[in-house]
């Protein structure tokens, strides 16, 4: 949590002003019991009504001044808390953007969402309360003790004995609560994860009648969260009753001691009232401090969780001497047989995986080629193509793109030259135009329509009343699956990328539309296209087809060559509905 305080730079003056004004408010509050004592001992005892009125007006003045100080302190503390957490939230979101797929897969999106939302709210609340009360409450407690000593040093011994006992109780409960609150947040992560999974997959759950099983699982997770919250709540709840009990016992002792000293003529009745008021102030402030400790404990636990994300270094970064991609220069200067992508004995193992996802892949892809990638589910197709834009780093072998090792490039430059249309069609809330401009912010309407034509999306976009400005709901939920896929493909066509990767991006398209798309891809001779599919019929027009099985490259050739030489491809082709003769011909 301490490391997060670096985001306080620029707000330190306001952070000091907040407790300073609270200090002034506390001074006003500590002077009031003395005024009350003087009213009793002088005004009431002597029947001096003018004196009483003057003292009451002075109390009103102190009250107004205290209110002004409190409001000012609240303004500064709220300003600092909101600005501080805003900086952390922006920095955390920026840091998450630097993490590779490996780190995001390991941490989990559910945990990241919780730390960006719930944890940040706890930090903001903790900072706000800390600036307002952390200095004020101890000052009131110590100040009341000092003021009590000025009234009667013997009675003040009650204060001196009470405060250490209360401090021990408070800090003991705080030390017990911190790890418990951390466990509560971890259980909350699990609940959020289950909720997110159920909402995202509600159609699948209903299709397979799994609502009861998911309700049971969600109930178990919420029961675990409830148990942890009850445990930490029970520990934290001890603060208030213990504080009240100790302070009220001290009040009894104080009243008894004060009565004896009044009877002996050592103290006045006003002095006893002042001592009682100071003890009451201590009681109120300790109750506030107890609740403050609970909030600070939760804020510290959440701050540590947020800091743990900052401490995760991205595994895929641009090297210090990174070079930009010069795709045009490569195309102009390369020899006829120079590959644009070259895999040499490449292997990939995911983090915490027990086995390799890809094993000893070796192949070349040449400029302008239209290459298909096929294989069964889990064969490593997506893993293979995600190595080219360096979404993952290879664990063995070498991978060159545009004549250089992929690890030598600046990541932004590399991913500008290599565009990927992922398996899941993702559209963002906005308009069709704003989604297409993700690929090229400077694209003209003509270029956008050209991309829509090539992706076979122009017809249904023209049919919309708003055309390019038609609204897009979050996730593109107001379009069909095929329409979403065509729009994501159009977004890739808008770019000037020299390598275009379509990762099973036509799975929701009908045969006629997919055939038009394949024809458009074959015409893209100024780009190198990799088309991933599980259907052999979608790849028959490719220049070459790479066949994967269990992470190994088992076939590399044209459709006709693979039918003759690759049993795995023949099996896929037959399953896709292509007639395959015994000799391997269609």
pLDDT digits 0-9 by tens, 421-446: 888 888 888 999 999 998 788 889 89
Q: Which of 289, 390, 341 is nearest to 498 (CA)?
A: 341
Q: How far apart are the first and last CA of the chain?
A: 66
* Phi then psi dihedrals of residue 108, to 5 deg: 100, 135
- Average pLDDT score over residue span 509-523: 80
Residue 234 has pLDDT above 80, yes or no: yes
- Residue holding tokens 């840091």? 95
pLDDT digits (tens, 9 = 90+) for 160-206: 777 788 778 877 877 787 788 778 878 887 888 888 788 878 888 88
Per-position DSSP letters for 1-50, written without gaps between them: -GGGGGGGTT-HHHHHHHHHHHHHHHHHHHHHHHHHHHIIIIIIHHT-HH
Write the pLDDT tens digit of every residue in 308-324.
889 888 888 888 888 88
Q: What is the pLDDT of residues 353-373, one digit of tens each?
A: 778 899 999 999 998 888 999
Mean pLDDT, the chain, rounded, equals 84
Which residues have C-beta within 8 Å of that of residue 332, sequence separation ≥ 6?
A: none
- Overall CATH class of domain 327-575: alpha beta
Identify the CA nearest to 88 among candidates 277, 307, 414, 332: 307
Torsion of CA 253, 254, 257, 261, to 10 degrees: -170
φ, ψ for residue 323 (rounded to 5)?
Answer: -110, 150
In the chain, which residues fall in CATH 3.40.50.300?
327-575
More confident residue, 530 or 107: 530
> pLDDT at position 88, please?
92
| Rg of the chain taking only CA atoms, in angstroms | 35
Instruction: Compute the distance between CA of residue 394 and CA of residue 413 in angstroms, rounded to an integer.
Output: 19
Q: Which residues of 345-381 are buried (b: 16+ CB within 10 A; e: fewer)?
A: ebebbbeeeeebbbbebebbbbbebbbbbbbbeebbb
Q: In this structure, are residues 534 and 571 in contact, taking their beta carbons and an 8 Å threshold?
A: no
Q: Within the chain, which residue ranges are assigned CATH 1.20.1560.10? A: 2-310
Give me the CATH code for the 2-310 domain, please: 1.20.1560.10
Q: What is the per-residue pLDDT across 383-428, written as a single tens digit (0 to 9) for each?
A: 999 999 999 999 999 999 988 899 899 988 898 889 888 888 888 8
């Amino acid at each position: 949590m301490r490391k997060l305080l670096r985001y306080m730079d620029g707000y330190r003056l306001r952070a000091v002003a907040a407790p300073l004004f609270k200090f002034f408010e506390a001074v006003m509050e500590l002077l009031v019991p003395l005024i009350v004592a003087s009213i009793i001992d002088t005004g009431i005892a002597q029947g001096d009504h003018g004196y009483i009125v003057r003292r009451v007006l002075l109390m009103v003045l102190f009250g107004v001044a205290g209110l002004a100080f409190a409001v000012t302190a609240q303004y500064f503390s709220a300003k600092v808390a909101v600005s501080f957490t805003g900086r952390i939230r922006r920095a955390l979101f920026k840091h998450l953007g630097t993490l590779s797929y490996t780190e995001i897969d390991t941490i989990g999106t559910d945990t990241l969402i919780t730390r960006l939302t719930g944890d940040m709210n706890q930090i903001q609340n903790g900072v706000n309360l800390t600036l307002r009360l952390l200095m004020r409450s101890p000052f009131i407690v110590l100040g009341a003790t000092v003021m009590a000593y000025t009234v009667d040093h013997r009675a003040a011994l009650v204060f001196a004995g009470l405060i250490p006992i209360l401090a021990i109780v408070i800090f003991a409960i705080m030390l017990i609560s911190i790890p418990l609150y951390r466990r509560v947040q971890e259980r909350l992560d699990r609940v959020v994860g289950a909720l997110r999974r159920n909402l995202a997959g509600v159609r699948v759950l209903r299709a397979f009648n799994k609502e009861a099983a998911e309700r049971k699982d969600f109930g178990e997770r919420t029961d675990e969260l409830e148990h942890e919250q009850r445990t930490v709540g029970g520990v934290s709840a001890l603060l208030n009753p213990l504080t009240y009990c100790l302070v009220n016992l001290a009040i009894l002792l104080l009243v008894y001691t004060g009565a004896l000293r009044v009877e002996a003529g050592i103290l006045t009745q006003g002095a006893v009232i002042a001592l009682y008021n100071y003890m009451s102030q201590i009681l109120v402030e300790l109750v506030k401090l107890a609740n403050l400790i609970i909030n600070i404990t939760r804020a510290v636990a959440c701050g540590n969780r947020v800091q743990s994300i900052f401490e995760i270094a991205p595994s895929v970064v641009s090297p210090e001497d990174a070079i930009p991609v010069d795709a045009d220069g490569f195309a102009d200067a390369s020899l006829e047989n120079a590959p644009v992508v070259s895999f040499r004995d490449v292997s990939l193992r995911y983090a915490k995986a027990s086995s390799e996802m890809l094993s000893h892949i070796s192949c070349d892809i040449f400029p302008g080629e239209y290459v298909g990638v096929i294989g069964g589910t889990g064969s490593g197709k997506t893993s293979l193509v995600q190595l080219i834009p360096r979404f993952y780093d290879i664990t063995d072998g070498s991978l060159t793109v545009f004549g250089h090792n992929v690890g030598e490039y600046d990541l932004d430059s590399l991913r500008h030259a290599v565009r990927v249309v992922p398996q899941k069609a993702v559209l963002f809330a906005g308009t069709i135009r704003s989604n297409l401009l993700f690929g090229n912010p400077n694209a003209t309407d003509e270029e956008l329509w050209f991309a829509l034509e090539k992706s076979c999306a122009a017809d249904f976009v023209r049919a919309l009343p708003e055309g390019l400005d038609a609204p897009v709901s979050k996730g593109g939920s107001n379009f069909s699956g095929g329409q979403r896929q065509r729009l994501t493909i159009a977004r890739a066509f808008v770019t000037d990328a020299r390598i275009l990767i379509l990762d099973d991006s036509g799975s929701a398209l009908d045969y006629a539309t997919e055939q038009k798309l394949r024809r458009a891809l074959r015409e893209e001779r100024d780009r190198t296209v990799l088309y991933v599919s599980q259907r052999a019929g979608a790849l028959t027009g490719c220049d070459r087809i790479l066949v994967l099985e269990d992470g190994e490259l088992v076939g590399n050739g044209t459709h006709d060559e693979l039918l003759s030489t690759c049993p795995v491809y023949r099996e896929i082709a037959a399953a896709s509905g292509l007639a395959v003769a015994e000799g391997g011909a269609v």
